[in-house]
Structure 1
């Protein structure tokens, strides 16, 4: 009875603290992710108030949080959207991967962490945070800008790439051999391809099968199906997160929209617990020794992400101002970087990897909204460049005209939680 009471007190304190931190972040119009990570550091080893009885429950909640994050991300995109983005934007995706994964891999090798840690840190530096970026786009009123579809396409390609990357990392961290790792990857690719095929051809039938007018039944069916598929995927040595992502892709239309609305509060709760859990397993005392490498990596990858967005927007025919805005907007890293680092922390491959990833994400999740806002005006001042204005345009029309973004796409991206 005593331990149960301690658990309730500790867990209640965590939830209350997260709610208050979320309110502070909302008032500041800022992402709550760094505050959640700092809360985890405060409650973890070497922190101010180390937890005891509720840590195991938080660990389970964190795993559910990752699954819900990926499910909700999958609900944002239809299979046809993913196929279309692959066909038209894959060069930008390749440039993104090369420019932004390389610095992480190189730093890990320079620090003597080995090839597995290099592959993990490459993923940490590669993937932008769609959750933070979507919020920034909404706050800055840029959802209708011409460069926004380019930004969203890069985010979609990164999300899809995770369906291949995560099984590879899972196999590497498990220490499986080349043959076993190849089998795992083949299974992952086969399952992903099969789900995409079923979603393209039979997505409507799957959605109708899951559909229900009763919100309670719909919630139970979608949540139960997601956890079941995630568990089966993990049993097959494929990431549970990938399984949840594929379930989200398979659902479409009104079912996806209704499920999204029902699951958003659950996702926010368990995702917050995930960030706290990651902070719990990072000793705050381990961060200062890796702060300089994390800062150096943040500076380098800020430049490479900016270059990625600039190049992709230029390829799409966007003006110079739009290119700089696209590059600055893509800088933020967040939940996916922590998910990848969390896999390595759980596997115990390199003690310093978790603290470095925490410091790196904290830096860029704070810097991301600033680079999104100020990269274009700073670049314009430094280069003295002004886009040519056609003679038939009045001065008031000089600003780049927005394009129309469908409400579902804009709202969906603004709600996503990677």
Structure 2
């Protein structure tokens, strides 16, 4: 009875603290992710209030949080959307991967962590935070801007690449051989292709089967199906997260909308628990030694993300101001960087990888909303100063700039 009471007190205190931190973040209009990570550092070993009896339950809640994050991500996109983005924006996805994954891989190799850690850190620096970016776009009133579809296309391609990337690192972290790793990847790609094919052709039938007018039944069916598929995927050493993502893609229409509204509170709860759990496994004393590499990596990859967005928006015919806005908006890293790093921390491949990833995400999840807001005006100011005054002709009221150009629509 005593241990049960202690568990309720500990877990209740965690949830209450997360709720208060979320309200604080909302009040000042920034992402609560860094506060959740800091809470995990406070509750973990070496922190101010180490947990006792509730840590095992938090670990289970964290695993459910990852599954729900990927399920909700899949619900955002239909199979036809993904296929369309692959056809039209795949070059932007390749540029994004090259510019932003390579710095992470290079840093891991420079630190002497080995090739497996290099693949993991490449994913940490590659994937932008869809959740943080979506909130920033809404807060800044840019959902209707011309550059926003370009930003969303890059995010969709990153999210879709998770279905390929996660099985690769799962196999690497498990230490399987070349043959077993190739089989795992083949199974994952085959499952993703099959789900996309079924969703495109039979998505309405699947959604009709899952759909229900009773919210309780819809919640139970979708949640039960997601956990079942995630478990089967993990049993095949593919990735529970990939299984959940594919379930979300397969659902569309009213079923997807209903599931999204019902599962959003659960997603928020367990995702917050996941960030706390990641912080629990990071000793605060281990962060200062990796703070300088994390800061250097944040500076470099903030620049490469801005370059990615600028290039993609330019390719889509967006004006210079819109290009800078697209680049600045993509800087934020968050939930999926932590998901990727969490897999490595659980596998125990490199003790310093978790602290570095924590510091890196803390930096960019704070800097990201600032670059989204100020990259374009700062770039306009700097380029305006560098531009020389154009020669003029005529006299008096007829002065005309020789280099005058038509007004560019942002």
TM-score, scaled to structure 1 = 0.93
CA distance in structure 1 between the partners assigned to 2:95 and 2:116 by the alignment: 22
Q: Using the TM superposition, give the Cα deviation of residue 326 of structure 1 relative to its aligned residue in structure 2, in angstroms.
A: 0.3
SS at match of 2:237: coil
Unaligned runs of 5+ in 1: 392-397, 401-418
Partner in structure 2 of residue 71 of structure 1: 71
Q: Is 1:276 matched up with 2:276?
A: yes
Q: Using the TM superposition, give the Cα deviation of residue 381 of structure 1 relative to its aligned residue in structure 2, in angstroms.
A: 1.0
Count of matched residue positions in the alignment of Structure 1 and Structure 2: 394
Give deviations 1:377-410, integer Å, cap 9, x for gaps: 111111118998637xxxxxx763xxxxxxxxxx
Correspondent of 2:406 among 382, 390, 401: 390
Q: Using the TM superposition, give the Cα deviation of residue 102 of structure 1 relative to its aligned residue in structure 2, in angstroms.
A: 0.2
Partner in structure 2 of residue 404 of structure 1: none
SS at match of 2:287: helix
Partner in structure 2 of residue 111 of structure 1: 111
Partner in structure 2 of residue 130 of structure 1: 130
Partner in structure 2 of residue 265 of structure 1: 265
Q: Using the TM superposition, give the Cα deviation of residue 229 of structure 1 relative to its aligned residue in structure 2, in angstroms.
A: 0.1
Q: Alpha carbon RMSD of aligned pairs, Å? A: 1.2
Partner in structure 1 of residue 204 of structure 2: 204
Partner in structure 2 of residue 336 of structure 1: 336
CA distance in structure 1 between the partners assigned to 2:66 and 2:163 by the alignment: 14
Give deviations 1:212-271, integer Å, cap 9, x for gaps: 100000000000000000000000001000000000000000110000000000000000
Higher radius of gyration, 1 or 2: 2
Partner in structure 2 of residue 5 of structure 1: 5
CA distance in structure 2 between the partners assigned to 1:223 and 1:258 by the alignment: 12
The 5-angstrom pairing of residues 305-316 of structure 1 reads: 305-316=305-316
Q: How has the CA–CA distance of structure 1 residues 318 and 399 changed in structure 2, closer, same or farther, with 3 Å as cutoff?
A: closer
Unaligned runs of 5+ in 2: 388-402
Instruction: Answer 1 or 2: higher relative contact order, Cα 8 Å, separation at least 6.
Output: 1
Partner in structure 2 of residue 15 of structure 1: 15
SS at match of 1:50: coil
Partner in structure 1 of residue 54 of structure 2: 54
Q: How has the CA–CA distance of structure 1 residues 381 and 178 changed in structure 2, closer, same or farther, with 3 Å as cutoff?
A: same
CA distance in structure 1 between the partners assigned to 2:36 and 2:409 by the alignment: 38
CA distance in structure 1 between the partners assigned to 2:58 and 2:236 by the alignment: 25
The 5-angstrom pairing of residues 394-413 of structure 1 reads: 400=410
CA distance in structure 1 between the partners assigned to 2:233 and 2:66 by the alignment: 14
4+ residue runs of structure 1 moved beyond 6 angstroms? 385-389
CA distance in structure 2 between the partners assigned to 1:191 and 1:33 by the alignment: 31
